[in-house]
Chains A and B, each alone.
Chain A
């Protein structure tokens, strides 16, 4: 049995295992979304707690005004929340844009904290910690600077968080605002719906596990304080915080009724840098938390760490192996002698992938169409392959960081004008 045979076998088992996990999560996710879809997600409170909505912003002049206006348009009682924009060492006219909005709505609690390159400019975690230091709210909400949340999003998140003491945080759903900007944003839109929202819903449904996505979530202030704020070394601060919340015994719940719309990278270069940052962050979090897989006291968190390990280790290696064997086979450098690999099975795998995505799109308005099905199939052979390069690049960066002991700077995703 040659190395190509072993690798093919490994790739096949890995891909089908991950496919099975995804199908499983999608079915759970669908049931959860279906149930939540029958409600408006609201649990009215007698008294609403004070909320600090924090938005880290670094050179966000193109989008920040629209974001702030959306945040100030929440249907949450206006005297019960403040919006804190951490203008993190911006070199553009973000500050002026924010001043304009302040002038427009002088009676609203819009706080702008501007930092220089000594205190600020050290990444999202650092900016959030600065925001935390000035926040008054018992509950913290975090939004990215390119978000336009729906008016009821904050109320839904807060009501659900306050109503269940077992919850440490509640997250909402995010959608792609610039879906039709390019083929890439079409792919990102599908990926966001199918693999971030539906998988989160499935993980919550089966395991009471969710990972904070970095935006559109609320969290108890005391939890953030007890864990010492956001880890400034973590590029993927959301995953890192999630794991710490798990370890405290809290759950993180997803409420799909709370929706925010965000701008996704519409150019490949920007997308690649953004995803590399996420992957580097996730690898950091995984390496910090992998020890908990073997810790019985870690509870449900073990499942999540294992899930991420599977995604990164198994999927990456399986895709690299299968693609390499395919290319080398076409070039005549390798030959797989393992029989029984029916072409029909690979066709079925593609069908399952498409259906798995379509089940998510079917629950959304204006997403379920033949074009989407075609794009999903196209995505399988194009966009999904890019993920391999992202993770390989992230691995390289991680190794370089470890060897040189130099922290990678936070790549700020470039925005475009709406």
Chain B
């Protein structure tokens, strides 16, 4: 079965399972109008907004300001404008945005003065505060240049801006124009505030949007990690009453080794106690690998775990996977995908930024610091190398916050990978290829005399590594003996060692004191 067919099958499965299907192809939930070639700040803001809308799983269309038409604006349920302060909307875009009755939000200072009555604030820096919840808020100085605020507003949304001229709402609405006055793509607090305001703005009901969950994930667990340490951490999490998941690193070879069985035994144990196992993608530079090879690697790794009764229910991948074809194609095999920030510097086109939406994933975003983004689900990653005490303190702090910690096992999951079709439904459990399976724990039996079949090379490599030590000691010993001999010889040479008294009679001999020996 081809990759496309598999992807189609997964989508069909998702539909049959009653998951909300993506929006109609023609329908655009949000139109983002941006200024091409803006400054560094605008590019960072656009990238931040792109990620945010990805995590919110919105059907988004991106258009440059000069491309926007009346039809584009009318076809979108919401319009978001992001431009720098010096940029101006062209006549067509301006006309379209002025005449539309659809909600329009302007983020930052650009274009707002063309669409609404505003006042210019040029204080250099302002104080911005925002309350996410009674327990969580921020209050900080933000450097701004030529900030616009609405002269008046029909309704105020969240946040305040304190300037020398007075106090203004961070986000406010004038007619159908909402304005989020200060934004910085590199500031997680402002990112969280914008995400929250966007969610509220798009929420169709009178009440507040529902809260999104946080999922505690013990991150990057390797088969060679100390199982006792892992057990200590997971015991602590259970004791603290925190539902958790574990991301396991991919394994391709030697999955039958006792150490792998021991590791899987631990995973099966925590799996039977409610933990969710998540498979991590390989650490590769995505734009330099072959998509099919990557797929085969994931399949191999998935089978390495399932053969020992460990069922990864979700895939963890770098954020860049959601924007590149090879990555999107791979993610199609898993309904639930956890994303994380990575260091790969991959250029992503905005056209690609909406492609993954069509696959209807349950995307879980990385957690932004201590401020909860109440706009999408987040994965709160714990470092498995930290001590249990340190993690306990972290978990207790999380529990004090406003994020509701949930188990990934409270969601439905499905995997279609190779010949494997696995589903998980809360209350019903696991089904593998249509057959019910269980996640109960039964201990393995170990072969005491396991034959590693390591081959001549591995054995020889080990022998050589061992003999290296022996050689090192022998060489040190020989060096010591040689140095003593050299010292003895020099001492004796000084005492005429090998010096023959009759040398002075060697009338026709070269001078052994040296230089006369040289041939002409």
List B438-493 residues whose CB lies under 8 Å from chain A: 455-457, 460-465, 468, 471-472, 474-475, 478-479, 481-483, 485-486, 488-490, 492-493
- Are A150 and B455 within 8 A (Cβ)? no
Check A150/B519 contact, CB under 8 A, given A66-B508, A363-B493, A368-B490. Answer: no
Check A148/B508 contact, CB under 8 A, given A1-B457, A338-B457, A366-B514. Answer: yes
- Are B508 and A70 within 8 A (Cβ)? yes
- Are A342 and B479 within 8 A (Cβ)? no
Which residues on B sit within 8 Å (CB–CB) of A185? Answer: 519
Chain B, residue nearest A40 (CB): B500
- Are B485 and A30 within 8 A (Cβ)? yes
- Are A340 and B498 within 8 A (Cβ)? no
Partner of B506 from A5, A150, A362 at Cβ < 8 Å: A150
Which residues on B sit within 8 Å (CB–CB) of A417? Answer: 519-520
Whether B203 sits at the interface, judged by CB under 8 Å, is: no
Whether A112 sits at the interface, judged by CB under 8 Å, is: no
**8 more A-B residue pairs beyond the given contacts A1-B457, A5-B460, A340-B461, with a C-beta to C-beta distance below 8 A:** A5-B457, A27-B481, A148-B510, A338-B461, A342-B468, A352-B475, A358-B486, A363-B492
Check A151/B505 contact, CB under 8 A, given A363-B497, A366-B512. Answer: yes
Partner of B519 from A181, A363, A366 at Cβ < 8 Å: A181
Whether A331 sits at the interface, judged by CB under 8 Å, is: no
A-B contact pairs, 22 of them (CB 8 A): A1-B455, A1-B456, A5-B457, A5-B460, A34-B488, A69-B508, A75-B505, A148-B510, A152-B500, A178-B519, A257-B498, A338-B460, A338-B464, A339-B461, A345-B468, A352-B478, A355-B483, A359-B486, A362-B489, A363-B497, A366-B513, A366-B514
Chain B, residue nearest A149 (CB): B509
Partner of A180 from B455, B461, B501, B515 at Cβ < 8 Å: B515
Which residues on A sit within 8 Å (CB–CB) of B520? Answer: 417-418
- Are B518 and A181 within 8 A (Cβ)? yes
Partner of A340 from B465, B481, B497, B513 at Cβ < 8 Å: B465
Whether B165 sits at the interface, judged by CB under 8 Å, is: no
- Are A261 and B502 within 8 A (Cβ)? no
Partner of B482 from A66, A358, A366 at Cβ < 8 Å: A358
Check A362/B486 contact, CB under 8 A, given A1-B457, A181-B519. Answer: yes
Chain B, residue nearest A152 (CB): B502
- Are B482 and A355 within 8 A (Cβ)? yes
Which residues on B sit within 8 Å (CB–CB) of A266? Answer: 519
- Are A261 and B472 within 8 A (Cβ)? no
How far is it, in angstroms, between the C-alpha of A151 and the C-alpha of B504 when the chains are bound? Answer: 10
> In the complex, how many angstroms separate the beta carbon of A268 from the nearest chain B beta carbon?
15
Which residues on B sit within 8 Å (CB–CB) of A66? Answer: 508
Whether A16 sits at the interface, judged by CB under 8 Å, is: yes
Chain B, residue nearest A182 (CB): B519
> In the complex, how many angstroms separate the beta carbon of B61 from the nearest chain A beta carbon?
50
- Are B485 and A180 within 8 A (Cβ)? no
Whether B24 sits at the interface, judged by CB under 8 Å, is: no
Which residues on A sit within 8 Å (CB–CB) of B455? Answer: 1
Partner of B485 from A69, A70, A148, A359 at Cβ < 8 Å: A359
Whether B138 sits at the interface, judged by CB under 8 Å, is: no
Which residues on B sit within 8 Å (CB–CB) of A5? Answer: 457, 460
Whether B503 sits at the interface, judged by CB under 8 Å, is: yes
Which residues of A come within 8 Å of B, CB atoms?
1, 5, 9, 12, 16, 20, 23, 26-27, 30, 33-34, 37-38, 40, 66, 69-70, 73, 75, 148, 150-152, 175-181, 185, 256-257, 259, 261, 263, 266, 337-342, 344-345, 348-349, 351-352, 355-356, 358-359, 362-366, 368, 416-418
> In the complex, how many angstroms separate the beta carbon of A318 from the nearest chain B beta carbon?
16
Whether B517 sits at the interface, judged by CB under 8 Å, is: yes
- Are A337 and B457 within 8 A (Cβ)? yes
How far is it, in angstroms, between the C-alpha of A372 and the C-alpha of B477 when the chains are bound? Answer: 23
Partner of B493 from A175, A178, A349, A364 at Cβ < 8 Å: A364
- Are A348 and B471 within 8 A (Cβ)? yes
Check A356/B482 contact, CB under 8 A, given A150-B500, A180-B515, A339-B464. Answer: yes
Chain A, residue nearest B512 (CB): A365
Which residues on A sit within 8 Å (CB–CB) of B501? Answer: 40
> In the complex, how many angstroms separate the beta carbon of B33 from the nearest chain A beta carbon?
53
> In the complex, how many angstroms separate the beta carbon of A287 from the nearest chain B beta carbon?
33
How far is it, in angstroms, between the C-alpha of A179 and the C-alpha of B499 when the chains are bound? Answer: 19
How far is it, in angstroms, between the C-alpha of A1 and the C-alpha of B454 when the chains are bound? Answer: 11
Which residues on B sit within 8 Å (CB–CB) of A176? Answer: 517
- Are B508 and A178 within 8 A (Cβ)? no
How far is it, in angstroms, between the C-alpha of A359 and the C-alpha of B460 when the chains are bound? Answer: 34
- Are B472 and A344 within 8 A (Cβ)? yes
Which residues on B sit within 8 Å (CB–CB) of A12? Answer: 464
Chain B, residue nearest A360 (CB): B489
- Are A364 and B482 within 8 A (Cβ)? no
- Are A359 and B482 within 8 A (Cβ)? yes
- Are B457 and A351 within 8 A (Cβ)? no
Among all A-B residue pairs, the 7 with the closest Cβ atoms: A340-B464, A340-B465, A339-B461, A362-B489, A181-B519, A180-B518, A178-B519
How far is it, in angstroms, between the C-alpha of A37 and the C-alpha of B497 when the chains are bound? Answer: 6
Which residues on B sit within 8 Å (CB–CB) of A363? Answer: 489, 492-493, 497-498
How far is it, in angstroms, between the C-alpha of A148 and the C-alpha of B520 when the chains are bound? Answer: 17
How far is it, in angstroms, between the C-alpha of A357 and the C-alpha of B279 when the chains are bound? Answer: 59
> In the complex, how many angstroms separate the beta carbon of A197 from the nearest chain B beta carbon?
11
> In the complex, how many angstroms separate the beta carbon of A51 from the nearest chain B beta carbon?
18
Chain A, residue nearest B464 (CB): A340
> In the complex, how many angstroms separate the beta carbon of B271 from the nearest chain A beta carbon?
35
How far is it, in angstroms, between the C-alpha of A179 and the C-alpha of B514 when the chains are bound? Answer: 9
Chain A, residue nearest B518 (CB): A180
Check A261/B492 contact, CB under 8 A, given A151-B502, A266-B519, A340-B464. Answer: no
> In the complex, how many angstroms separate the beta carbon of B474 from the nearest chain A beta carbon?
8
How far is it, in angstroms, between the C-alpha of A12 and the C-alpha of B461 when the chains are bound? Answer: 12
Check A9/B460 contact, CB under 8 A, given A345-B471, A364-B493, A368-B490. Answer: yes
> In the complex, how many angstroms separate the beta carbon of B499 from the nearest chain A beta carbon?
7
Chain A, residue nearest B481 (CB): A27
- Are A351 and B493 within 8 A (Cβ)? no
How far is it, in angstroms, between the C-alpha of A263 and the C-alpha of B520 when the chains are bound? Answer: 13
Whether B349 sits at the interface, judged by CB under 8 Å, is: no
Which residues on A sit within 8 Å (CB–CB) of B207? Answer: none
Which residues on A sit within 8 Å (CB–CB) of B464? Answer: 12, 338-341
- Are B492 and A348 within 8 A (Cβ)? no
Chain B, residue nearest A366 (CB): B514
Whether B2 sits at the interface, judged by CB under 8 Å, is: no
Chain A, residue nearest B502 (CB): A152
How far is it, in angstroms, between the C-alpha of A355 and the C-alpha of B486 when the chains are bound? Answer: 9
- Are B519 and A362 within 8 A (Cβ)? no
- Are B490 and A362 within 8 A (Cβ)? yes
How far is it, in angstroms, between the C-alpha of A258 and the C-alpha of B462 when the chains are bound? Answer: 50
- Are A27 and B457 within 8 A (Cβ)? no
Whether B507 sits at the interface, judged by CB under 8 Å, is: yes
> In the complex, how many angstroms separate the beta carbon of B490 from the nearest chain A beta carbon?
5
Chain A, residue nearest B497 (CB): A37
How far is it, in angstroms, between the C-alpha of A365 and the C-alpha of B513 when the chains are bound? Answer: 7
Check A34/B492 contact, CB under 8 A, given A27-B481, A338-B460, A364-B498. Answer: yes
How far is it, in angstroms, between the C-alpha of A34 and the C-alpha of B495 when the chains are bound? Answer: 12
- Are A37 and B518 within 8 A (Cβ)? no
> In the complex, how many angstroms separate the beta carbon of B519 from the nearest chain A beta carbon?
4
How far is it, in angstroms, between the C-alpha of A179 and the C-alpha of B511 when the chains are bound? Answer: 12
Chain B, residue nearest A266 (CB): B519
How far is it, in angstroms, between the C-alpha of A5 and the C-alpha of B459 when the chains are bound? Answer: 13
> In the complex, how many angstroms separate the beta carbon of A416 from the nearest chain B beta carbon?
6
How far is it, in angstroms, between the C-alpha of A179 and the C-alpha of B465 when the chains are bound? Answer: 42
Which residues on A sit within 8 Å (CB–CB) of B512? Answer: 175, 365-366
